[in-house]
């Protein structure tokens, strides 16, 4: 089992993360947090714990340095810099490939809010390594011209009562050439605080990653919205 504080180099900075991979992990999921959030996000940590129970490794990574976090809190200057966040996420994918203990693991990306756009751009930049993407309440529309370049299967999880974001996800989904599905959690709002909502996010994300972080996995989804649990 791997469990350590990760130091991930990216250009002139070093990013901090929490890397955990259970023995015999079937793959590893790298988390891209949303605007104003960090690797300490209780929601993403709860999802990560569920993925580890499903036999997957996780890397919860701060895509901004401490100085950048302070600057962003005051000015909001970095949280919507999807190009910067995606480049750092891609550097983290490369870092995992260089490590002997994680090089053989298929990589998935889990993005929340603006982190979903960064995850999709990074998936387009690293098509050989990134095997699946999950967005939680994300803004995939901010991935822009990278959407038609994403080859990895994509699961878009959105709250049924998060109307504006649901519309943006449906619009972005139409631009994805890869197998994809929009999973709507009935009655949930943007941060999934409702009873059972985050647990449903965790369950469908674990199912998606387990299906696709294996050699030769084939998606059987239709690309249409699915209320409640998606069927495979």
Show the domains of the chain with their CATH numbers.
2-217 (3.40.50.1820)
**Mean pLDDT, 10 residues at a time, over the chain (232 residues)?**
94 95 93 75 91 96 88 75 94 96 96 94 97 97 97 98 97 97 97 96 98 61 45 28
From residue 222, give the alpha-carbon distance in Å to each of 154, 159, 173, 211: 12, 20, 12, 15
Say what the pLDDT of residue 218 is.
36
From residue 196, give the alpha-carbon distance in Å to each of 24, 186, 200, 202, 215: 29, 10, 6, 10, 32
Question: Max CA-CA distance within the chain?
Answer: 46
Say what the pLDDT of residue 232 is.
27
Say what the pLDDT of residue 221 is.
41
Say what the pLDDT of residue 36 is.
59
Say what the pLDDT of residue 216 is.
42
Residue 156, C-beta contacts closer than 8 angstroms, at least 6 positions apart: 135, 138, 140, 169, 172, 173, 180, 181, 182, 183
Say what the pLDDT of residue 225 is.
53
Q: What is the pTM of this model?
A: 0.90
């Amino acid at each position: 089992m791997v469990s350590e504080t990760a130091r991930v180099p990216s250009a002139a900075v070093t990013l901090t993360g929490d890397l955990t991979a259970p023995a015999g992990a079937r793959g590893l999921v790298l988390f891209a947090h949303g605007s104003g959030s960090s690797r300490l996000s209780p929601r993403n940590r709860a999802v990560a714990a569920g993925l580890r129970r499903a036999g997957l490794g996780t890397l919860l990574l701060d895509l901004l340095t401490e100085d950048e976090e302070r600057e962003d809190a005051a000015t909001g200057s970095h949280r919507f810099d999807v190009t910067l966040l995606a480049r750092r996420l891609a550097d983290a994918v490369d870092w995992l490939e260089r490590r002997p203990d994680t090089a053989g693991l298929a990589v998935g990306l889990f993005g929340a809010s603006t982190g979903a756009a960064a995850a999709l751009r990074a998936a387009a930049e690293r098509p050989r390594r990134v095997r699946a993407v999950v967005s939680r309440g994300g803004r995939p529309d901010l991935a822009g011209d990278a959407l038609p370049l994403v080859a990895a299967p994509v699961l878009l999880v959105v709250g049924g009562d998060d109307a504006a974001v649901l519309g943006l996800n449906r619009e972005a989904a139409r631009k994805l050439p890869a197998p994809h599905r929009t999973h709507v959690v009935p009655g949930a709002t943007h941060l999934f605080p409702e009873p059972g909502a985050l647990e449903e996010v965790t369950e469908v994300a674990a199912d998606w990653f387990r299906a696709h972080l294996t050699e030769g996995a084939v998606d059987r989804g239709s690309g249409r919205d699915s209320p409640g649990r998606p069927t495979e």
